[in-house]
Amino acid sequence: MSSLAARTAPARGDAAPLVPVDRPRSRRGAWRLAATAVIWLTSLFVVALWVGGAGIQSLFAFNADTLNTLGRLTGLVSANLLLYQVLLMARIPLFEKGFGRDGITRLHRFVGFWSFWLLMAHIVLLVAGYAAQAAINPFVQLWQFVWDYPGMLLATAGTGLLVMVVVTSIRRARRKLRYESWHLLHLYGYLGVGLAIPHMLWTGADFIANPAATVYWWTLWAVVAASVVVFRVVVPLWRSRRHDLRVTSVSADGKRGVAVRMRGRGLHRLDAKPGQFFVWRFLDGPGWTRGHPLSLAGAPIGDELVVAARIVGDGTRRLSRLRRGTRVLFEGPYGHMTGDVRTGRKLLMLGAGAGVGPLVALLESEEYGPGEATLVTRDHDDRDGMRLREIQRLARERGLRHFTLNGRRGGSGATWLPATHGAWAGPDLIRHLAPDLEEYDVFLCGPIPWMDAVRTDLRAAGVDDSRIHSEAFTV
C-alpha cells in the first residue's frame, strides 16, 4: 500500500506475546443496571399517575376529554423527560458510571428533542380540548391560559427559552454558530426547564388531588436542582481548591494545536485514567467560565496532567496564551474509554485531529508487545499532526505501528479516508492494517461524523460492537 504513510519500529528482540486481557466489567454493568432502573421506574410511575387519574377512560370518550387526557399524558411525560434531560448532564455519579459520557450525550440529545415535541403536543392538545369544552376560539383559550392560570406566564417564558435551545441545537443551525455562543445559549435550557415545570405543580389536576404525585414531582424537581448545584458547582470548586492545579507550560503541538501541562497536589486521588477527559476552566480573565471538555493527552504521571487541543475558535485560541501559574478549575475525570474495557491482546487506534491525544495517552499506559499496537491518524495536512514526538517515541521504544491518512477528503469511497485512498473500500483497508482483526480492541476518537463512518466500516469488517470503544464530548 504505497500511498499509506507508515512509521514503524522493528520488534524488540524475542519478547513473549502478552496474554489476552480479561478485565472485569461487573461493576460497570451494575451501575448501568441501576441507572436504567431508576429511569424506567420513575417513567412508569408517571404513566401510573395518568392511569390513576382516569386517563384511559377519558381516552375513549372521543370528545374534548380525549384531547385533555392526551394533553395531560404528553405533559407528564414531557415534564419527566425535561427534568431527566437536566439530570443527565448534571454529572451525577449514577449516570456517569452507568452510561458513560458517550451514552449520556446520545441520551441527552434524544431525550431533549422528544421532551420538546411532547411539550408542544401538550400545549396544542390542552388548548384544543379546553376550547372545545368551553366552545370558544382556540386562540382565546390560549390567551386565557397564559394570563389567567397561575404560573403560566413563567411557563410561557420557559417554553420560549426551550424553543431557542432546540432551534440552535439543530445541526444545520449549530454549524453556523461559534461553539462558545452555542454553549452560552444552550445553558438557557436550565432556566427554561426551571420556569416551565412549576405551573403544573400549582394548577395540574394530577397534582392538586394526588398527594403522592405532589411529593414525587416536588422531590424530583428539588433533586434535579440540588444535583446541578452540587455536582456542577460545589464539588468541582472543592476539588479544584483541594488539588490546586496550575499551568506549568504551554507549547505548540503541530501547526494548529496546543499542549498545556499542569501540576497540582495529590492528583493521584483523582484516580484519573488515560483516555478519560475533564472539563477545564482556566482563570486567565474574562471568559474563564466557559468549560473546555478536553481529554488527557498523556498518561497521568505523578502530579502532572497534560491536555492537547486543536485551535478552532476563541476558546481554544486562548489556551495558547495561558501564562505559567494560571489557576485551573476542573470537573472530572469522566469517560469509559479506558484500558479497563479491553478484552483482546492487540490494539487498533484510529484518531482524527485532536482525537489523537487520548489514544496516545492510552498507548503510553497499556500493555502490548512490539507490533501489537497500531495507530492510524487522520489530518488534512501533514503539518497538522499532533503528539508526533510522543508517537515517535512509542514507535522507537515500544514497537508501535503508526500509519498516517492525511490529505483532503475524497469525493467517493469511504468518507473517513482521504482522496489518495479513494480506491480503497473502508473494511478492506481496516483488514489490511489489522489482518488478525479478531484479536484487536479498537479505540476511536475524533469528530462524531468521522467516527460514525469508521464505526460503520469496522462493523462491515467483522468487528463486534463490544470491541469498539469511543467517547463523544458534544451534544
The 3-state secondary structure of 31-60, one letter per residue: HHHHHHHHHHHHHHHHHHHHHHCCHHHHHC
Query: Cβ neighbours of residue 168 under 8 Å, at least 6 residues apart?
Result: 174, 177, 182, 185, 186
Query: What gap in Å lies between CA 168 and CA 165, rounded to an integer?
Result: 5
Q: Which residue has the cell 477527559?
A: 277
Please give the radius of gyration of the chain, using alpha carbons only, rounded to the nearest integer.
26
- Specify the DSSP class assigned to residue 327: B
Q: Among 251, 273, 248, 249, which residue's Cα sits nearest to residue 263?
A: 248
CB contact at 8 A, 121 and 131: no
Cell readout for 271 is: 484516580
Burial 336-345 (b: 16+ CB within 10 A, else e): bbbbebbebb
Give me the pLDDT at residue 5, please. 47
CB contact at 8 A, 124 and 101: no
Cell readout for 420 is: 489518495
Q: What is the DSSP string of 92-150?
A: -HHHHHHHHHHHHHHHHHHHHHHHHHHHHHHHHHHHHHHHHHHT--HHHHHHHHHHHST
Query: What gap in Å lies between CA 293 and CA 343, rounded to an integer?
Result: 27
CB contact at 8 A, 150 and 203: yes
Helix axes 388-398, 356-365, angle to 10 degrees: 30
Q: Among 363, 208, 377, which residue's Cα sits nearest to residue 297?
A: 363
Cell readout for 115 is: 421532551
What are the angstrom distances between the C-alpha of 242 and each of 181, 237, 327, 453? 31, 9, 12, 42
Query: What gap in Å lies between CA 446 and CA 465, rounded to an integer?
Result: 18
Query: What gap in Å lies between CA 16 and CA 370, rounded to an integer?
Result: 10
CB contact at 8 A, 90 and 232: yes
The pLDDT profile of the chain, 475 residues, written as one tens digit per residue, is: 334 544 444 333 333 333 344 444 567 778 888 888 888 888 888 888 788 777 787 778 778 888 988 988 888 888 888 888 888 878 888 888 788 777 787 787 788 888 888 888 988 998 998 899 888 998 998 888 888 877 777 888 888 877 877 777 666 655 665 665 666 666 667 677 777 767 766 666 556 567 777 788 888 888 888 988 998 889 999 999 999 999 999 999 988 899 999 999 999 999 999 999 999 999 988 878 888 889 999 989 889 999 999 887 767 788 989 999 999 999 989 888 899 888 888 999 999 988 999 999 999 999 999 999 999 999 988 888 999 999 999 999 999 999 999 988 876 668 898 888 888 889 999 999 998 899 999 999 998 889 999 999 999 999 998 899 987 655 4
CB contact at 8 A, 240 and 312: no
Query: What gap in Å lies between CA 235 and CA 330, rounded to an integer?
Result: 10
* Coil, helix or strand at residue 326: coil
Residues in the chain: 475
Query: What gap in Å lies between CA 86 and CA 69, rounded to an integer?
Result: 26
CB contact at 8 A, 17 and 413: no
Cell readout for 77 is: 411525560
> How many whole angstroms from its chain centre is CA 443?
16
Longest C-alpha distance within the chain, in Å? 88
Domains and CATH numbers, the chain: 26-232 (1.20.120.1770), 241-334 (2.40.30.10), 338-470 (3.40.50.80)
